[in-house]
Structure formats: structure tokens, C-alpha cells
A and B are shown apart, each in its own frame.
Chain A
Amino acid sequence: MAGGLTYTATESTAFSTAEIYGKALCELGEKHPEVVALTADLGKSTKIGMFGEKFPDRYFNVGIAEQNMFGMAAGMARAGLVPFLSTFSVFASLRSADQLHTDICYQNVNAKIIATHAGTSFGQAGSTHHAICDMAVARSIPNLTVICPADGLETYNAVHAAYDNFGPYYIRINRGFDRVLYDSTDYGFEVGKAVTINEGSDITIIACGSCVFQAYQAAKFLETNDGLKVRVLNMHTIKPIDREAIVKAVMDTRRIITAEDHNVIGGLGSAVAEVIVEAGKGCAFKQLGIPDKFAPIGLHEDIMSSLGIDQNGIIAAVREVMGKDFELDDDWDDEV
């Protein structure tokens, strides 16, 4: 369990998610001389540059050369360092995918990729800078743990967890400010374990990243206006996915919606669907996300709205799924 963050949620609103990452990394750098940082000319944008200001001898800006950065990190990790790498998610997952796959993951080295500007969070930059398939790529590479934190404080926990656990990590965080979900880091963050944000028995929304806050808001609205008890799971870890929480949600609520700022192919929704299908439990199921198309240009919140992964979109989806029929399986009463 990560700890030691002294500023409060209120104060944390003054920091972007990436700034909280930068602070967390600096803390790790203070304590652990083997922590080094690499970026590809995005020190300022990803905030990994904060580490460079404090520890210039352990900071490597490789220029605009992501493939080299990933290979270098693999060599550094093998030699006993713990490299943290930051660039935009779209480049971390695609431009240097071969190095991520082979140098980092096949060799199973202790390197941590903190990929920023995830999903459509760099909305105005357009599809060249939207990361809509990074989780699909990362999730399908063996040895790689994939985390999509919901806000800044969860990012803090994820960064510390990445240091605490050996092996390659891919953590995707957003550009700028996330809506604050947690008021402290002390809520029981554990890699691979979903966090129940809201209890409910009628339907479950399984969300990650920026969609968690939206799902929570939707759940509150639906409780007040529709009388629905909506369970919300913050599925911060995409791999290894929390199978137990998913199957329990199916058994308890029989209606599942997933919400993610990512293509519906290959990300959180796919991961959840795989678990449900393998469990063999019938349920109504709907995926919210980017419907296998390139997203429009715009502010992140406007894009989320247009994709139906904001509060209103999630409310509409819940109402739709509540009206759906589904086939009961034979062992409806099975315990999970």
C-alpha cells in the first residue's frame, strides 16, 4: 500500500494528474538511488521532467526517439536500475511497440512505462495524439501489468505500486486535470483488485480511467432519479483483471456496462467480456467506449460526451440495459 502523500484531495486539485505522477516519482527518486527516468522530448508535458530537475544525473532525455528510449531502458533495467519512461500513450504503445514487446516484456525487465495523454485526453491534438488502442496492445503482451488510474491520487498509488512490484508496468494517465474521485490515497489500492466506488444490486458499471468519475456521478443520479442501485467498480488494473469482482458483479446484478476512453475492441470492455463468457453466466452486457472509429477533435469532456462515455451517456446506457432481457443460465443461484 502506498502512503506518505501529505497533501489533501482539495490541494491535489491544484495539480494535474501528471504533476502528481511527477511528485510521486521524485519521492521514489529520493528514497531509491536506482530509480532513473527517461523521456523522448516530453519531459515538460509528461512531468517526468520534475525528476530531471531534482536528479539530473539520473534523467535521460533521448530526444524524439521512442524506440531508442525503450531499448535503453531495457538495458538499464538489466543492469540493476529501475527506469521510469514517459511519453504520450499513443507513442509508448505504437511507435516503440516492438521494443516494448521484446526488450521490455519478453526479457521481463523491471521497467515502468508511465504513458500520458491517454485515450482522447489530448483531444484537440486529434487522432495522431489520441491513444485509442494502447490498452489493447499492452494487454496482449505477456508479463506486462496494465493500469489505468481514475485520478491523480490513484496515479500516485499506481506509481508506487509499480516500484514495489518487480516487472514491466504500463500505466496510462490523462493529460491535464482529472475529476477528483478520491479524497486520499488511503482507500485500499491493490494491483489487480477492483475498488467498489458505489454499492448496488440492480446493475454494475465497470469503468477505468476518466470514466470512473463519470460512472460514479451517473450512479448517484440514477439512485436519486430512477431509484436504481448501481454498483460502480473502478477497474484500475486492466491486466491482471479482477475476475472475481467481475463474476460477482454478474451474479449479483446480472446487468453489466463497461466504460472506457479507448476503443471498445481490446480494452477494458473486451477484458470484462472475456471473463463473463468464460464464466458462462448469462447477463445483459453493453460496452461503452470508442466504437472502432477515430475520435473527433475537441476538448476531452466534449469528446467523452460525443462518445457517450460521460455521465449522461452512461445514464442513457444504464436505462437501456435495464430494459433488456437476458437468458438465465441453469445455475443462477451458484455462488461465486
Chain B
Amino acid sequence: MALTKQEWLELEKQAHELRKLCLDTTYWAGSAHIGGGMSVMDMLTILYYKYMKYDVANPQWEDRDRFILSKGHAGVALASLVCHVGFDDKEKLKTFNLSNSTMGIHLDSNKVKGVDASTGSLGHGLSIALGTALAAKVLGKDYKTFCILGDGECDEGSNWEAGMAAAHFKADNLISFVDRNKCMIDGRTEDVMKLEPLADKWRSFGFIVKEVDGHNFNELADAIDFALENKGAPVMIIADTIKGCGVDYMEDDYKWHYGALNEEKYELAKASLEKYYAKRVARAEKEGI
């Protein structure tokens, strides 16, 4: 079901707050994986602000929906999110990446509240998510498991082991995304290691694939609604995204996979995020019902 205009605008507001928090955290830390953090942010926002069941007072609630950030290097985005929704203390973001902090580049699920898996070594998350999803079936629980993979991460063979198994075991309670920002550390994904036709690859592994604009909440909502109703097969939502989304000088530039911010860049980024938010609000106002 399409988002109401009010819902859409609320999601835009939360995504904007999260982008600002992600930027601040990167600035406080000196540097972080801000490019992929910004590309994945709208997916995180809609999952945590519209779809997922969780209890910030009881992070280990056994009936909660689970979220596995397979592209664990986007920890700066997830850290911002778990603090923003209230799992963990926002003040801790000021220690991000600093010595003896509980929050490093790749979040430790035993140290950061609300984080369901310690990821960072790429190609692990989909397997963990599949195990989590199949456990729900064994335990007779109806929680859902969500997983976001990076696109460059799809180079890892273990994803395809997990994909084969997800279809084989009919893990229809597993809803996955590829953050298709088309960039990886050393360059464009298609230059470093060709991924296309990526949707066909996942389809051939037994997934139902939805391709959406990863920065359009209405399209994301449609795809997630479909996935939640779907029976018999896992769903892969390939979200077309922009690396560094919202910060004009970072956008679509693989060099911003990991980057440092000085005062000048920080201020430019803040101004850019405000302009970007205004554009997003205008779209929601225009297209929302």
C-alpha cells in the first residue's frame, strides 16, 4: 500500500535527521565510511520507522524483527540509527572510532545495543540472516529478518552459497536488499568486477527480485509490502542508490567510500544536506497521496 503523504514526510524527516547524525559522527570521528552510510540510510529509515518490531527497552526481545547489516562497514549509519531510535546513547557517537570506544567502524553486537550481528567481513550477513530466519521457523515465531548487502560485497562467493540455500529452504521470512550504489573501494563496481546482470543473478538463484529507487520511500514501501506478503521464496530488493547520497560533493564518487572531513567540508556537507532535504520534501509533497 502506498505511503500516505504524512508517513512519507515523517520518513523524510527521520532520514534527514539520520543523515545529519551520520555526518556529525563522521566529523567527530575524523573519518568514516560515510559514502555507503549515506546510500543505505533510506533503507534503514523505512525499516526502523515503518516496518520493524522492536523494543528499545529490551533489545534482546525474542520476538523482535531482526536486522543484519551485511555491509558492516556502514556501521556509522547503523550506529547513528540505533542511537537515534533509542537503543543506545547518542553521546556515544562522539566516541565513534576513538580508542576504547564501544563503537568502531564495524559494530560489535555484544557492545552496541540494538545491533543484531557483528559484521564487517563481507559476504557473511546473508548467511547469518538466513540462519536467523530459519530459526524463526524452527521456533514457531513470526518475526521477520531483514538484511542489507553492499553491491561490491556481492563479489563474495559466500553470498551465493547463502542465496542458493535461502531459496532451497524457502526462506520467505527473509527480506534482503542490495545497496546498489555502484561503487566500491577501488572504483566503479562494473570496472572492478562486473556484477550485471545482478537482478538476473539473484533471480536465477531462486529469489523474487524487486528493483526500486533506493531513495524513494514510496518505492521502497511497495517492495517491502510485497515481500512481507510473499510466500514460498526469499525476496531480494535491489535498491538503486547513490553513494554519499545528500552530500553533493560526495555523490556517486567511489573515492568517498571512506573519507575524512575537515571543518570546511563538514560545513559544506551540512548545507548540502539541507538542500537535499528540501528537494526530498518537495517530492513527497508532490507525489504523496
Contacts and interface: CB of A to CB of B under 8 A. Distances in A.
Q: Please indicate whether A and B come from the same complex rather than being unrelated chains.
A: yes
Contacts of B89: none
Q: Which of B127, B157, B165: most chain A CB closer than 10 A? A: B127
B168 to A, nearest CB: 8
B221 interface: no
A106 B118 contact: yes
Interface stretch (B36-44, B134-142, B197-205, B226-234): B134-142
Interface stretch (B109-117, B266-274, B276-284): B109-117
B161 A81 contact: no
Given A63-B165, A80-B139, A81-B135, A75 B127 contact: yes
Interface in B129-149: 129-136, 138-139, 145
Contacts of B165: 62-63, 65, 68, 72
Contacts, number: 111
Nearest to B131: A75
Nearest to A77: B131
Interface stretch (A3-11, A97-105, A205-213, A322-330): A97-105
B236 interface: no
A58 B169 CA distance: 12
Interface residues of A, number: 31
A70 B124 CA distance: 9
A246 interface: no
B158 interface: yes
Interface string A102-119: 110011100000000000
Judged by DSSP, the binding face of B is: helix
Contact of A78 (B108, B116, B158, B168): B116
A274 B131 CA distance: 38
B139 A72 contact: no
Interface string A65-91: 101111111111111110100000000
B135 A71 contact: no
A34 B110 CA distance: 22
Judged by DSSP, the binding face of A is: helix
B30 interface: no
B162 interface: yes
B75 to A, nearest CB: 14
Nearest to B156: A67
Nearest to B137: A57
Interface in B87-129: 108-110, 116-118, 120-121, 123-129
Contact of A99 (B68, B124, B139): B124
A16 B131 CA distance: 30
Given A80-B135, A81-B135, A102-B124, A75 B130 contact: yes
A254 B154 CA distance: 56
A60 B134 contact: yes
Nearest to B169: A60
B164 interface: yes
B62 interface: yes
A79 B139 contact: yes
A36 B158 contact: no
B288 to A, nearest CB: 36
Interface residues of B, number: 36
B158 A68 contact: yes
Given A57-B138, A80-B139, A81-B139, A72 B128 contact: yes
Contact of A107 (B118, B129, B169): B118
Interface string B162-174: 1011001100000
B139 A102 contact: no
B134 A76 contact: yes
Nearest to B168: A63
Q: Which of B116, B132, B136: most chain A CB closer than 10 A? A: B132
A68 B138 contact: no
Interface in A15-29: none
A36 B136 CA distance: 13
A78 B132 contact: yes
Given A36-B138, A80-B62, A98-B124, A71 B164 contact: no
Contacts of A75: 68, 117, 127-135, 145
A68 B62 contact: no
Nearest to B123: A67
Contacts of A108: 110
A107 B120 CA distance: 12
A69 B125 CA distance: 12
B138 A103 contact: no
A305 B123 CA distance: 42
Given A77-B131, A78-B128, 10 more contacts: A67-B123, A70-B127, A71-B158, A72-B127, A75-B129, A78-B116, A79-B131, A80-B139, A98-B124, A106-B108
21 contacts: A57-B138, A60-B134, A62-B165, A67-B127, A67-B157, A68-B130, A68-B164, A71-B126, A71-B158, A72-B165, A74-B128, A75-B68, A79-B66, A79-B135, A79-B136, A80-B62, A80-B135, A98-B124, A102-B121, A103-B117, A108-B110
Interface of A: 34, 36, 57-58, 60, 62-63, 65, 67-81, 83, 98-99, 102-103, 106-108
| 4 closest A-B pairs by CB | A71-B127, A75-B131, A72-B131, A79-B135
